[in-house]
Structure 1
Amino acid sequence: MSGSEDSDDNFMPEQSVDDERTSIRAELSSLSFEELQKLKEKIGAKVYKEALFGKNDKKKPDGPRIFKRENKNRPREMSSKKPVPMFDVPKIKKREVRDPRFDPLCGEFDKKQFSQNYNFLSDIRMKDIKKIRAELKQTTDPEQEKKLRRLLQRLNDQHKASKKKKEEDASAKREKTHVVQEFKDGRQPHFKNKSERRVEALVQQYEDLKKEGTGRIQRHLKRRQQKLKKRSHKAPTGVS
């Protein structure tokens, strides 16, 4: 009996508080909105809420909220209040384009030095010519033969142009040396004009062809006649 009486004593105050709060709510329900606002301003918002809803005994946690996963395979929940770190994009250095032809940092172009540095290309070109000639003897495909002949012709033209340029440079060097020597000897040097240089070049070309054989000379003369004939046909005729 004593145990039941103690439990009733503990239960009665809570029941009386609920009854009192119910009666307060009933009285407040009969008041107008304006009267409720005045009462709230008079007793304070905190007391007003406690009278209607009771005290909130729940306390906020002191430390930061810990987000836990119900399943370890789920992604971890992150707080929306924590700012997302900004991705640091590295600055790309602007590429500076330089033209070596007009850039003083690249130095001046030395034609003679350039030809000396890349003189090995002539040897490589001759090796390629020999290799293509060997492939021409073995190939039986007409299309492949046509490609190889076209490539061989281009390499031969490049080799001839390079050889001609070297000969012209050597001739100019000899002429310059001769002029300087005449100045030193106290004589008036003779400067060759374009026509004289052209005649000398033709004579030298004839001598080179003569060394290769008479057939080479005949083919060269025939080709030259064909070029002159084409030029004469293309030349405009006078209007009578």
Structure 2
Amino acid sequence: MKDAGNSGSHTDSGSDRDDTGDARHSPPAGQCEESSHDDIDDEEYQEKESQSSTSRQTPENEAASISFGALVKAQASLGNRNRSHDDDGYGAARKTLGKNDAPRDFTNEEALERRAGKKDTRDFSRTSKHAPAELSSKKAVSRKREVVPTQKFNHRDPRFEPLSGAVDEQKSRRNYAFLETYRNSEMSELKSAIRKTQDSEAKEKLKRSLLSMESRKKAQELKEQQQKVLREHRKEEKKKIERGKRPFYLKKADQRKRTLVEKFEGMKGKQIDKVIERRRKKKAARERKGMPDARRV
């Protein structure tokens, strides 16, 4: 019996040892349940991550597979809807709000006004003189730059200023009579240079300058003769007026005739013939110019 009891005790101790061994090698029941729950949570988190990654990637893949024509059509339809919605909302807001209470969103206002074809009635006056000027973007910017011009310095000659009174030609000619002597000396120098020069081009140039100086001198002499005729006529008329006669004013044609008569009176026979021949040729050339080409022979 003792043996049996001992054996039983041995068996019990063995079983106890097995139980303690199992207890040593196997975790407790609560820990097993927690680890199983952690494994399940990790699996669920990984599944959610994979689903989110697939959901993130799918729109890009879908957009890449859509054709450009479909995208353009969708964009046009969305744009028309948004525009009509914005117009309705903006019109209602403008009706409910006053003119002064309207929102100062210049970009939206300007876009809507441009679509409606309205004039820009906004006030672009500056809040202060130091603020920059504000302009409407509906007006085209000029390509021409507005440059402030500098003040031009005008040279003044007191001899020809209106403040000094009317110009007396006779007086000025008397004061500057020495210029005539200078011109005469220049003309004599030109004549001597024409005789000495051998180059044909230089000689032609000197001849042209001499001819221009001579023509100016002749024009001045003719003008002086006309003024002389006028002075003499005025003296005669003054005397006639003193005697009680009515004044007679010379016409320009009569002035030219009298000057021509005085010119011929101061000439010799050969000079008169030359002048008459020159005038005849000049008149014939003028008449020939007005003639048709067939009758110019």
Task: Give the residue type in structure 2 aligned to 1:230.
Answer: A
Task: Give the residue type in structure 1 aligned to 2:241.
Answer: F
TM-score (norm 1): 0.50
Q: Distance between the aligned counterparts of 1:104 and 1:195, measured in 2?
A: 31
Displacement, 1:140?
A: 2.1
The answer to whether residue 177 in structure 2 is matched with residue 119 in structure 1 is yes
Compared with structure 1, are the counterparts of its residues 184 and 195 closer, same or farther at alpha carbon in structure 2 (3 Å cutoff)? same
- What's the counterpart of residue 191 of structure 2? 133
**1:64-115 CA distance string (max 9 Å, x none):** xxxxxxxxxxxxxxxxxxxxxxxxxxxxx96642666996545443333332
Structure 2 runs not aligned, ≥5 long: 1-149, 293-297
Identity, % of aligned positions: 25
What pairs with 1:142-221 in structure 2 (closer than 5 Å)? 142-210=200-268, 213-214=269-270, 216-221=271-276
Compared with structure 1, are the counterparts of its residues 198 and 103 closer, same or farther at alpha carbon in structure 2 (3 Å cutoff)? closer
The alignment of Structure 1 onto Structure 2 pairs a total of residues equal to 142
Q: Distance between the aligned counterparts of 2:247 and 2:214, measured in 1?
A: 38
Q: Distance between the aligned counterparts of 2:198 and 2:241, measured in 1?
A: 63
Task: Give the residue type in structure 2 aligned to 1:124.
Answer: Y
What pairs with 1:29-40 in structure 2 (closer than 5 Å)? none
- What's the counterpart of residue 8 of structure 1? none
The answer to whether residue 190 in structure 2 is matched with residue 97 in structure 1 is no
Compared with structure 1, are the counterparts of its residues 230 and 196 closer, same or farther at alpha carbon in structure 2 (3 Å cutoff)? same
Displacement, 1:153?
A: 0.8
Q: Distance between the aligned counterparts of 2:169 and 2:262, measured in 1?
A: 24
Q: Name the SS of the counterpart of 1:209 in structure 2.
A: coil
What pairs with 1:3-82 in structure 2 (closer than 5 Å)? none
**1:146-181 CA distance string (max 9 Å, x none):** 112111111111111111122222221111111111
- What's the counterpart of residue 278 of structure 2? 223
Compared with structure 1, are the counterparts of its residues 103 and 129 closer, same or farther at alpha carbon in structure 2 (3 Å cutoff)? closer
Normalized per residue, which structure has more helix? 2
Report the aligned-residue RMSD: 2.9
Task: Give the residue type in structure 1 aligned to 2:279.
Answer: R
Of structures 1 and 2, the one scoring higher in RCO (CA 8 A, sep 6+) is: 1
Structure 1 runs not aligned, ≥5 long: 1-92
Displacement, 1:236?
A: 6.3
Q: Distance between the aligned counterparts of 2:155 and 2:195, measured in 1?
A: 47
Compared with structure 1, are the counterparts of its residues 176 and 233 closer, same or farther at alpha carbon in structure 2 (3 Å cutoff)? same
Task: Give the residue type in structure 2 aligned to 1:201.
Answer: T
| Contact 2:264–2:272 (CA under 8 A) maintained in structure 1 | yes
Compared with structure 1, are the counterparts of its residues 99 and 134 closer, same or farther at alpha carbon in structure 2 (3 Å cutoff)? same
**1:40-77 CA distance string (max 9 Å, x none):** xxxxxxxxxxxxxxxxxxxxxxxxxxxxxxxxxxxxxx
Compared with structure 1, are the counterparts of its residues 200 and 107 closer, same or farther at alpha carbon in structure 2 (3 Å cutoff)? closer
**1:12-62 CA distance string (max 9 Å, x none):** xxxxxxxxxxxxxxxxxxxxxxxxxxxxxxxxxxxxxxxxxxxxxxxxxxx
